[in-house]
Structure 1
């Protein structure tokens, strides 16, 4: 493919400057995003292991709930029945210690029954390490309020898209000759270039999806408002915690009718949504009475949330009231939007897709690092050709900032994960943030100041 040299020169300038402006921020987004593909298992791994009896059988949940409500009346307002308890929440029933606030997952009470039938309740602190890494991914590692960092992330995603387009156009003329080239003997610059091109070309569809969906997430409030108007329903953010944000739809239910038992609800869902495996029954009291949102998975379909699909269910009859976010039961418009979200979250195809996203995320981080190295090398060559005997100040700063930023990000994530595993009881949101940014700044300072 032939492209005029003057046009290539413009694309090269656009690609270089856009890449250098966004590369380090995108490195954090891709590296932290790769880790966040297994956010829930990491949260379980870094949560304190509670000393409590095994969860009661699901059939005994009504007896457990009766004792919980007798001892903790406030639990009636918002509580969760865990159909698949794990290390993070090892009991059958859980409810927040404090009233839910926003999307933050605070400490939870977890309850089960001892072998003699007595109530056993433990308080579980939700260790924030995994969530903090996910927020690094969403906010590009910038410690600013979410309301500021989110639109900034959208702008960076737009620049990222420009870099993708210009990079492809630069590579097309030499595609056949340089696609699998690895010039080990021609110096590090050629090797960095070959690696950068290889990573970028073979993961191009993945990067296009990430760029587009990141723009959607950055400006999701107006997009969801349009969705609500077009499809005639209220919207729920895909980032809503499964245990705190039930869907607002309620049923015309008789207030004196008893709630179905969890076993009856699961049986009813199996009949109405075959293949959907519920994992969480989240109850809350609203203006319309008791509301229930069921979270679960169906490996045959894409899921709207990072790890689950949702259904609003009448807790007294078991009837599904809303299938807007229920995998395999959505209307066409919602199904299309769900595919869009699932492509970003990797919430389809099970663990094989998740591991694939981990590899692609780490490869993307490597691509941004090699892009910075290439810019630095090219800048140094131009400065030497202009007669400079040493790096200019911008080149010197960037050549030191790049390895410091990258090493600080990687080491900071490893340090907080290790601290969360060995000392989960002391890891608060503030402490996790302080540890990460302390490590991050130390490495940047080291590379800036070292001879």
Structure 2
């Protein structure tokens, strides 16, 4: 396909500079996003044994709730029950020790102390107060915000920043497609090795970009919608609803006076009757001390449906009402417009089709991270001054090229090392500090400290020397994760814990990733030794 030369030149310039501007933040979001497909499994993997209480039978929930409310008055207002929830896997019942803002565990709260409850085999109540491990939630926050802290309104600053970045991201996708159109057929699957590293990085960048183009378009558009949906709703409200609220509150439900006693098992039966094909994962109850304002939020899962949340659909109702529960939020009962909106969430989260889709999104997420990393490397390779005459002094590289090289290696590999190091540190924390009160604070501070130290280190020693060393450290940390599990099995009394049988795959994949990064280390070490003097990738720079 022929494209006018001036259009091709403009598209290439836009693709280059937009990609460089957004690439590093997108790398963090995509790498963390790939891991976040199994964020709840990672949280469970990082959960100490004392934070995971035994399950109970479905006919024991009323007895559990009654005993908890008898001994803990704060549970009369709000609590959550867990049946088979990946997110709230810790115990059959949980609530906050001090509940000021309602039952909401969707926060990375370093000081949060949650009450967990179950029943022993003899029917006695067992309660623990814990600061719940939320490693997966930290990874999810990195995916949403690229690690940019702070909030504006009910959104983090990072969400708005990534909304703007996604506009640039979409522009980079379109301009990249225009640039590649003239040679698309010839160069699509061509990855040419050799001395010309620029050609290798260009070929690899093009293959990954074109293969996953529909996925990237989907992600960029949905992120823009997620970040600025309030503005979109306000604009539509002004045009269509003339300033009136687009979403009216449903009419208040009738509740008998006095309100009936809360019957959790009856509520479960009613949900299963009305939401056939869905599995009840958890139910959160709020404002139970005010029956007319009480609410329940049931999280439901079905692998055959488009879901609104990352792993659930929602049914909301008053737990004291006699009327049938509203099923309008479920995909099986949604309107055409609701199905479109729900599909935007579902396609972004990859929550349809079960674990096969999730693994596909892991591959696409990590592939996306490579796309942005390779784009920066390609920009660097295109601007490296090479030594054409060995009799002349080695060339001095431009400052902007050195800056981008250091920033790319420091932030991208720093993010990878910081995430895996946080996983490792969290497993050993209770060995060296059994009285640790906030494992979430440890996860958060260890991530940011290691991430920033990597960036500082790369700027001090240069990208060439830092690259192989950081790759080697990443490989070592990854190898230490399964070794930790082996230690836990061999020496169970030192405070370590082994992965459960359903989560051994995390240790196995840690070994696979470790071998990959070990190979990357060997390649980086070899390149540093054989690079021309004065090159960005040589340890002999001017």
Same fold (TM over 0.5): yes
* Structure 1 stretch displaced more, 211-220 or 257-266: 257-266
CA gap of 1:234–1:197, structure 2 versus 1, over 3 A, is farther
Instruction: Give 1:31's aligned residue.
Output: 31
Deviation at 1:90, TM superposition (A): 4.0
Aligned with residue 445 of structure 1, among 435, 440, 456:
456
Instruction: Give 1:374's aligned residue.
Output: 378
Secondary structure of 2:384's aligned partner: helix
Deviation at 1:89, TM superposition (A): 4.2
Paired with 1:140 and 1:122, the residues of 2 have a C-alpha distance of 34
Deviation at 1:132, TM superposition (A): 1.5
1:55-89 CA-to-partner distances (Å, cap 9, x unmatched) read 33221221221111110011111111211267964
Matched, 1:233 2:237: no
Matched, 1:344 2:348: yes
Segments of 5+ residues of structure 2 without an aligned counterpart are 431-435, 462-538
Secondary structure of 1:275's aligned partner: coil
CA contact (8 A) 1:411 1:440 kept: yes
Instruction: Give 2:173's aligned residue.
Output: 164
Secondary structure of 1:120's aligned partner: strand
Deviation at 1:276, TM superposition (A): 1.2
Paired with 1:249 and 1:366, the residues of 2 have a C-alpha distance of 50
* Structure 1 stretch displaced more, 313-322 or 347-356: 313-322
Matched, 1:255 2:257: yes
Segments of 5+ residues of structure 1 without an aligned counterpart are 236-247
CA contact (8 A) 2:426 2:439 kept: no
Deviation at 1:277, TM superposition (A): 0.9
CA contact (8 A) 1:55 1:85 kept: no
User: Equivalent residues in 2 for 1:128-277 (5 A)?
Assistant: 128-145=134-151, 147-224=156-233, 232-233=246-247, 251-259=253-261, 261-277=263-279
CA contact (8 A) 1:276 1:327 kept: no
* Structure 1 stretch displaced more, 7-16 or 101-110: 101-110
* Structure 1 stretch displaced more, 101-110 or 120-129: 101-110
Paired with 1:43 and 1:179, the residues of 2 have a C-alpha distance of 39
* Structure 1 stretch displaced more, 66-75 or 134-143: 134-143
| Structure-1-length-normalised TM-score | 0.89
Question: Greater RCO between the two (CA within 8 Å, min separation 6)?
Answer: 1
Paired with 2:42 and 2:236, the residues of 1 have a C-alpha distance of 33
Paired with 1:121 and 1:388, the residues of 2 have a C-alpha distance of 69
Secondary structure of 1:185's aligned partner: coil
Deviation at 1:310, TM superposition (A): 0.3
Paired with 1:129 and 1:295, the residues of 2 have a C-alpha distance of 21
| Structure-2-length-normalised TM-score | 0.75
* Aligned-CA RMSD value: 2.7
| Count of aligned positions | 438
Paired with 1:218 and 1:53, the residues of 2 have a C-alpha distance of 37
1:220-277 CA-to-partner distances (Å, cap 9, x unmatched) read 2234556888695359xxxxxxxxxxxx875212133534633332322232221011
Paired with 1:130 and 1:52, the residues of 2 have a C-alpha distance of 16
Matched, 1:411 2:401: no
1:311-336 CA-to-partner distances (Å, cap 9, x unmatched) read 01342457554334323121222111
Deviation at 1:177, TM superposition (A): 0.7
Instruction: Give 1:398's aligned residue.
Output: 404
Paired with 2:322 and 2:310, the residues of 1 have a C-alpha distance of 25
Matched, 1:93 2:110: no
Secondary structure of 2:451's aligned partner: helix
CA contact (8 A) 1:153 1:214 kept: yes
Aligned with residue 284 of structure 1, among 280, 283, 286:
286
Deviation at 1:200, TM superposition (A): 0.2
Secondary structure of 1:343's aligned partner: helix
Deviation at 1:282, TM superposition (A): 1.2
Paired with 1:266 and 1:170, the residues of 2 have a C-alpha distance of 56
Paired with 1:209 and 1:407, the residues of 2 have a C-alpha distance of 26
Instruction: Give 1:323's aligned residue.
Output: 327
